Structure 1
Amino acid sequence: MPSESKLANSSRWPSDAFTPILLALVVGVALQLQQTALWDRHIYEATLLVALVLIVLCAIKKVAVAHVGWCLALAWLSVGFASTGLRASWYQDHRLDPDLEGRDLVVVGIVSELPQFSDAGLRFRLSVESAQLQGQAIKVPRTMDVGWYAGVYPHAKEPQGLLRQPASLEAGERWQLVLRLKAPHGSSNPHGFDYELWAWEQGVHANAYVRASSQDPESINLGQTWTYPVAWARQWVRTRIMDAVPDRDRAGLLAALVVGEQAAIDRAQWDVYRATGVAHLVSISGLHITMFAWGATFLVGYLWRRSMRACSWLPASTAALLGGVVLAFGYAVFAGWGIPAQRTCVMLGAVAALKAFGLRWPWPVVWLSAFALVVGCDPWAMLQPGFWLSFVAVGVLFATDLGANSAGRTGAKAKVWSMLREQWVITTALAPLSVLLFGQLSLVSLAANAFAIPWVTLVITPLAMVGVIVPAVLPLASAAGLGLQLVLQFFAALPNAALAFPSPPLWLAVGGAIGAGMLVFPWHWTHRLLGLPLLAPVLLWQPALPPLGEFELLAADIGQGNAVLVRTATHALLFDAGPRYSLESDAGHRVLVPMLQSLGTRLNRVVLSHRDSDHVGGAAAVLAMQKQADLMSSIEREHPLQLQRPATPCIAGQQWVWDAVEFTVLHPQSGDYSKPLKPNAMSCVLRIRAAGSAPDKQRSRTALLVGDIENLQEARLVESEGLGLRADVLLVPHHGSKTSSSDVFLDAVQPTYALVQSGYRNRFGHPAAEVKLRYLSRGVTVLESSRCGAMTWRSWQAQNVLCQREVAKKYWHHQLNPPGDASSAPFLSAD
């Protein structure tokens, strides 16, 4: 009879064989994700073929034994690299033909996911069956996100009357629609959300909106297909909840918990959830699915042990494991089967399979197996925050072996202690990742989660699920949701409930994660303290700032609007705050607040050039975050922003100096406030000049920010300032409108760089071709945010402008023009 040690070794043998393979596969995928452009498909195919041949040679022992390990590692690394490259090439084949952008197409498709309703209209995902252009069949992406707007066309060049809205729209319905398409194109900012990566991973290669004016053919509902029954069931449940709970906030919470409808939760609620560290409870994230699986495992095991017959047929531990995984899969499917839920279910399934086959692998190998399986199924998951939060949380729980540490403790007190310790371990371990990914750390997270986890898991969610069947129970779930909101609002209102941190470099965050892991590892406390020197730099790190006498200008990519951050050695100013996209979304919340937080920037002043919504749309969010900043603007006294922060009027001649950098207001004049001028004519104009700049040298040390001034105001500035208008960098007036950038003005400014902040395929056609030509004919380099992303210019490096789309370039990012087209560059130069 074999000894116990031999049995143990035989059960562990596969881990020794698979570990190098799994590591090599993951490294290969990670290397491919760093590519800025895809290679020719044949290169990936040849690499994969060579790797497979090498694996076969190793298997039949045609390679020297001493080299087998290295050959296998290289082969599997190549498999990971080449297979990911091939998949990316296939994805790229489904991109929208640029020639179809802006064209009206007749498309037949099926609503494949839960439609999202809002005041602006509705959005839904369409699985395309056919498309026609002028009666001819054409190829378009198979999956696209579609907007069906209310009111008038938001993207049309002229009003075309009110849009026809559908009486109803359900998942699974087939529709014939007239759509206008464009490629997915998101903003590109430092530390910003990569929308184009998200669309790539979702398989969405086109955005569209329905042409539904009185001048367009009527959209036709071709009937329910029942092709997407889960999405239809989710919509039915959501409607049932919304009809039974009149309070939209609480109905949104219940819908999020039952069907994963996070869009039903408004922005203010999300701010509270993030500040208290409980957002994972209302997001179908990896951590959420894992918690559900643990709860389901406990429940199945508890019920299974109550039946002797069941236990004789299948051990309770095995039944609990399988039941927990199956229920977690079912919950994830019904909750939308999002990408985080998918990878978490794969991880849980992998862990369960290993345990079911009795493979007693060390926890790092179990963790790595699940990690590699998820990466193999979804390579781009490695670039998503939820992926790392999920795996780090599970890995930490494996490493700290909470179950073993609580062994011997029984009773309610031990369970409460175990739950609190588990939450403390996860909170501490994820702290560096939270700072890196979100620039925020909640100090009330432990207390808030201690209440919210059992309340949401044991009270609100079960009541909401039962309420779907028995509507009379939904008011109880709503009341429980109100209790949750009140408690979380209390925690969020506490001083320093959430601390903001600048985003550290990746290498520093990795060191911090190791340090946090050491703090929670079950070692002696003296050894745990060794993690503090690794963790502290993450919390104390500050990004580099301009030297004394110099300044940095960052023109954010916020779509159609202006928003420029100016930083000196110890001060910061924001010129304009971008547009408001909808009632629930603006450039402040979406771009500027996260960017300021990630850069660790505290504003001293906000300058709003004038009242137009594409300049002040995000101001409320920025001012709410930056309470210490004063406000300067030409907005009228009755403007709603005056209630939030009284504004000092911009008046020509105002001047201040920060860190030897001179700021001067050039427009409007004090008398302009008493004249009936258009908002554009009242735009604040700000000149920024580095230390030591003289009139004959100021071009390389000066920036001019001009808002939406037009030809008359430009002529007035030329008359009053003369050579004082010369600047190296000019924020192009009115986004490149035909009413601005006059010849006389450009001859006076003589910029080297002209920055255009305008939206991709914006309805105004900014920048106008003739305006762009005026700049190019003078040798000016024109940079557009739609091509360049965020644009950064530094006075001490005046010869360069950094384009975020070039700095962070990846192959999944939208290319505006085919390779080789001169206009595909992020800037246009007369040279």
Structure 2
Amino acid sequence: MRSFAVSFLVGTLVLWVLPRLPEMRVLFWGMVAMALGMLASMAVFRLPLCLRLPATLVSALLLGACYTIWTASGVKADWLPQAWEGQDVLLTGTVADVPERRADGLRFLLDVEQADRGDYHGRLRLAWYEDALPDIRAGDRWQLLVRGKRPNGFMNPGSFDYEQWLFSQRIGGSGYVRKSGQNQRVSHGLAFSPNAIRQRVQERIQTALGDSPETGLVQGLAVAYRSTISPQQWETLRKTGTSHLLAISGLHIGMVAGFGFLPVMLVWRLFPTLYTRMPVRVAGGIVGGVFACAYALLAGFTIPTQRALVMVLVLMLGLLWRRQIPFSITLALALLLVVLIDPLASLSAGFWLSFGAVSLLAWLGMRRHRQGKMAFLWVQLALSLGMLPLTAGFFGSVSLVSPLANLLAIPYVTVLVVPLILLGVLLTGILPGVAAWVWQAAALLLQGLMMGLDWLATFSLSSLYLPLVPLPWLLLALAGFTLLWLPRGMPGRWLGMALMLPLALFQPEKPEPGAFRLSVLDVGQGLASVVQTANHTLVFDTGPRVSDSFDSGELVVLPWLYGQGVRQLDTLVVSHADNDHSGGAKAILAAMPVAKVLVNAADVLTDHQTNLCLSGQSWHWDGVEFTMVHPSGNFPEQKENNRSCVLKIANQYHSVLLAADIERPAEQWLVKQDADLRADVLLLPHHGSKTSSSPAFIKTVSPQLGIVTSGYLNRFHHPHPSVVRRYEAYDVKLLDTVESGELRLDFPVTDAPWRLREWRKAQLHVWNRSLEK
């Protein structure tokens, strides 16, 4: 069982190595035939024992791979048809979850049942931005005029892979509801469906707690509704390593299952004859399983919740079984059932963290009796240390206060907060006033908890950001932990500490003196780029800030910088005030030290000390020259775009021109002023707008490569087709972050050719949009 389950899991990892799905008729049936053939040969020909285990492992691996490929094909078949992208489509479908109300509108999932353009059935993530929004209820059927697109996200090292998340959640696209008289409710949903009940509970918690900062926390623990948790609260939870407490995980479901034993024990004590009918342990397990299933439904029965429920139920069955079953067998059965239910589970960090934590707890539990009264503290410290490689690999940071925070927060939330919240859920249908008081008490407890966590998060070393550590180094760290916690007396035990050191000491490769690197980040319709020399870092523009929940400075630029081992900036250049260039600047300035800030006007970033960028400014870093070529003091144009900072970076053999958002008037001025514009690589002015990239400017710069930074299916239609043709006429190759993701160009100190890396192509996976190009 154990070997088969692990091999089946390894087979499901096929998605991590496939850039695109194989031809089903060839590979899929070939692998199925091979796996079935090996199983048949084992049964019919009675393979020797020495060959039976390898045959079983190979069969399980192939079956896992086939099953996963088949599931992934079904998910991709439910993507929004490519021909419908950017078009208005009339859809009819069911609201599949509790809608999220935000300051800018409403977001919800729609399970599409029919469309006016053809046959389509899939799940879409939609937004509705009208001022007077209707009352949308979970389970209702709606007819909506929608403009959508296929799954799309930014592709940068160290950033959240939104396309992967959409794929794992079986979401086939996103879009927004158009203003139309055709938008109407077709029918109401069932009043007592799980999602309808969740929405009513969420609304009653909102009514009971109002605008309390803890409202989102209570809603999250009650019905997994987390959209009202503030960014500041998420940051505190991240820094203290306690974010998992807000996820409806195996910890919460297991705790609720444990509550099922309490009423059974009471009833059995009142009626002792029941002991002759059924052991209290079995009856408690059955009731606990029912409680766990009810809580999973209350949490939305999402895929992660399903995994946690299966894991808890199987572990409970293992404990209730009359025979002595090794815990490893029970865990292997849970693992196999989870990947059978969701073969895409390996795409989720929660899957690895939950099974890793349970496995580690089981292992540590075998040695706990040696620790006496300090057992719980010892287990918590060991668990935090053991999960370091996984948290570093998935999130790029580790919390140094996590052991202490979790030591206090886990029993606090488990024993005090969650029981109160669930008691309020039980009472809300019969005694709503009492339920409100209970939730208010839970909110007070959470307020005290958050005060303590906020205090821990203030320590300068509460959270440690780590560079992007290569997979082999992470595996070494895991091996080191395994050695470190072997029983005493085992040879080589302390070698584990040496194997874990690279996790803390690793630093990404930097340019050598005289060389430089340009990284143009994928931030959609905007610009964010980073220039690195041997010992210095400059950020040129920071991308957009769309809302409180999306700031490219926080979500893209900072994770990228941390992943490259950058802890402070030497210079930040904000070319002009447009949001798509300056929106992320405040998040960066708040998160790390910046020695110098250059802006094009005094009214940009007024909360910080800044200097104006002016033509003629220059400085040298590590043998690389930086020159500001625009704007000049006597430039007559007052339009914001045409007064953008324009920066040239060059060493002895290579050069780059970052043209920001200048348009034809500024281009013509620079050409007439005989400015030093020639460069090997040009960051296209104004994202390739038809108002820029004049022939004279292109001819003067004479680039080999032009880089466009634009958004997928952007409403400006950047880059404009006429501009693309113009660059093609000058034999300039164009690359766009839409298709390339993050672009990294390394310019050597010699006259050797510069090297180019396109992150989207280098990290191409089955779930990526570009596969359907």
**CA root-mean-square deviation:** 2.5
**1:778-822 per-position Cα deviation (integer Å, ceiling 9, x unaligned):** 1111111111111111102744421111111012211375xxxxx
Give the Cα–Cα distance (whole angstroms) in 2 for the partners of residues 467 and 705 of structure 1. Answer: 58
For the pair 1:210 / 2:177, whether they are aligned, the reply is yes
Give the Cα–Cα distance (whole angstroms) in 2 for the partners of residues 536 and 228 of structure 1. Answer: 54
Secondary structure at 1:670 match in 2: coil
Give the Cα–Cα distance (whole angstroms) in 2 for the partners of residues 508 and 274 of structure 1. Answer: 23
Change (3 A) 1:287 1:537: farther
Secondary structure at 1:186 match in 2: coil
Contact 1:112–1:228 (CA under 8 A) maintained in structure 2? no
For the pair 1:250 / 2:226, whether they are aligned, the reply is no
Q: How does 1:421-820 map to 2 (within 5 A)?
A: 421-468=378-425, 469=428, 470-521=435-486, 523=488, 529-602=494-567, 603-637=569-603, 639=604, 641-643=605-607, 645-671=608-634, 677-690=638-651, 692-693=652-653, 701-722=654-675, 724-796=676-748, 798-815=753-770, 817=772
Give the Cα–Cα distance (whole angstroms) in 1 for the partners of residues 265 and 379 of structure 2. Answer: 21
Alpha-carbon distance, 1:267 to partner: 0.8
Alpha-carbon distance, 1:607 to partner: 0.8
Alpha-carbon distance, 1:231 to partner: 1.0
Letter matched to residue 657 of structure 2: L
Secondary structure at 1:180 match in 2: strand
Contact 1:119–1:583 (CA under 8 A) maintained in structure 2? no
Point out where structure 1 has 5 or more consecutive residues left out of the alignment.
1-17, 152-164, 694-700, 818-823, 825-831
**1:426-449 per-position Cα deviation (integer Å, ceiling 9, x unaligned):** 211111212221121212212222
Match of 1:238 in 2: 202
**1:352-407 per-position Cα deviation (integer Å, ceiling 9, x unaligned):** 334444564544444333323322322222122111111111111111126x6249
Match of 1:145 in 2: 125
Give the Cα–Cα distance (whole angstroms) in 1 for the partners of residues 404 and 9 of structure 2. Answer: 37
Letter matched to residue 339 of structure 2: V
Change (3 A) 1:41 1:371: same
Match of 1:85 in 2: 69
Match of 2:431 in 1: none
Give the Cα–Cα distance (whole angstroms) in 1 for the partners of residues 606 and 473 of structure 2. Answer: 42
Alpha-carbon distance, 1:635 to partner: 3.6
Change (3 A) 1:286 1:458: closer
**1:120-170 per-position Cα deviation (integer Å, ceiling 9, x unaligned):** 10011111121103xxxx12242111110136xxxxxxxxxxxxx333111
**1:151-206 per-position Cα deviation (integer Å, ceiling 9, x unaligned):** 6xxxxxxxxxxxxx333111011111111121111111112222112111211112
Change (3 A) 1:272 1:683: same
Change (3 A) 1:437 1:298: farther
Change (3 A) 1:755 1:359: farther
Give the Cα–Cα distance (whole angstroms) in 2 for the partners of residues 369 and 182 of structure 1. Answer: 39
For the pair 1:199 / 2:199, whether they are aligned, the reply is no
Of the structure 1 ranges 808-817 and 589-598, higher mean CA displacement relative to structure 2 is found in 808-817
Secondary structure at 1:423 match in 2: helix
Q: How does 1:74-223 map to 2 (within 5 A)?
A: 74-133=58-117, 138-150=118-130, 165-212=132-179, 216-223=180-187
TM-score normalised to the size of structure 2?
0.93
Query: Which of 283, 288, 296 is equivalent to 1:332?
Result: 296
Query: Which of 1, 7, 13 is equivalent to 1:30?
Result: 13
Give the Cα–Cα distance (whole angstroms) in 1 for the partners of residues 379 and 51 of structure 2. Answer: 44
Change (3 A) 1:408 1:445: closer
Contact 1:363–1:399 (CA under 8 A) maintained in structure 2? no
Contact 1:715–1:744 (CA under 8 A) maintained in structure 2? yes
Give the Cα–Cα distance (whole angstroms) in 1 for the partners of residues 18 and 281 of structure 2. Answer: 45
Alpha-carbon distance, 1:655 to partner: 1.1
Secondary structure at 1:815 match in 2: helix
Query: Which of 53, 63, 87 is equivalent to 2:37?
Result: 53
Letter matched to residue 368 of structure 2: N
Alpha-carbon distance, 1:69 to partner: 3.3
Give the Cα–Cα distance (whole angstroms) in 2 for the partners of residues 303 and 520 of structure 1. Answer: 41
Alpha-carbon distance, 1:263 to partner: 1.6
Point out where structure 2 has 5 or more consecutive residues left out of the alignment.
429-434
Letter matched to residue 703 of structure 2: P
Give the Cα–Cα distance (whole angstroms) in 1 for the partners of residues 120 and 414 of structure 2. Answer: 43
Letter matched to residue 30 of structure 1: L
Match of 2:368 in 1: 405
Of the structure 1 ranges 735-744 and 295-304, higher mean CA displacement relative to structure 2 is found in 295-304
Contact 1:576–1:608 (CA under 8 A) maintained in structure 2? yes
Change (3 A) 1:290 1:618: farther
Give the Cα–Cα distance (whole angstroms) in 2 for the partners of residues 501 and 662 of structure 1. Answer: 30
Alpha-carbon distance, 1:333 to partner: 2.2
Letter matched to residue 774 of structure 1: R
Give the Cα–Cα distance (whole angstroms) in 2 for the partners of residues 41 and 509 of structure 1. Answer: 34
Give the Cα–Cα distance (whole angstroms) in 2 for the partners of residues 361 and 671 of structure 1. Answer: 83
Contact 2:574–2:600 (CA under 8 A) maintained in structure 1? yes
Query: Which of 190, 193, 203 is equivalent to 1:226?
Result: 190
Contact 1:608–1:633 (CA under 8 A) maintained in structure 2? yes
Match of 1:11 in 2: none
Letter matched to residue 497 of structure 1: S
Secondary structure at 1:86 match in 2: helix
Secondary structure at 1:433 match in 2: helix
Percent identity between matched residues is 35
Secondary structure at 1:537 match in 2: helix
Alpha-carbon distance, 1:227 to partner: 8.3
Alpha-carbon distance, 1:451 to partner: 2.4
Of the structure 1 ranges 194-203 and 450-459, higher mean CA displacement relative to structure 2 is found in 450-459
Letter matched to residue 580 of structure 1: R
Give the Cα–Cα distance (whole angstroms) in 2 for the partners of residues 745 and 80 of structure 1. Answer: 56
Letter matched to residue 348 of structure 1: V
Alpha-carbon distance, 1:32 to partner: 4.7
Match of 2:432 in 1: none
Give the Cα–Cα distance (whole angstroms) in 2 for the partners of residues 327 and 418 of structure 1. Answer: 29
Alpha-carbon distance, 1:260 to partner: 0.8
Alpha-carbon distance, 1:297 to partner: 7.0
Secondary structure at 2:769 match in 1: coil
Of the structure 1 ranges 773-782 and 82-91, higher mean CA displacement relative to structure 2 is found in 82-91
Give the Cα–Cα distance (whole angstroms) in 1 for the partners of residues 15 and 295 of structure 2. Answer: 33
Query: Which of 314, 323, 345 is equivalent to 2:278?
Result: 314
Contact 1:555–1:791 (CA under 8 A) maintained in structure 2? yes
**1:599-653 per-position Cα deviation (integer Å, ceiling 9, x unaligned):** 211322211100000011111111111124421111433x4x321x211111111
Give the Cα–Cα distance (whole angstroms) in 1 for the partners of residues 249 and 585 of structure 2. Answer: 31
Alpha-carbon distance, 1:288 to partner: 4.7
Change (3 A) 1:529 1:305: farther
Contact 1:25–1:76 (CA under 8 A) maintained in structure 2? yes
Alpha-carbon distance, 1:275 to partner: 0.7
Contact 1:300–1:324 (CA under 8 A) maintained in structure 2? no
Of the structure 1 ranges 77-86 and 26-35, higher mean CA displacement relative to structure 2 is found in 26-35
Contact 1:304–1:319 (CA under 8 A) maintained in structure 2? no
How many residue pairs end up in the alignment?
Answer: 759
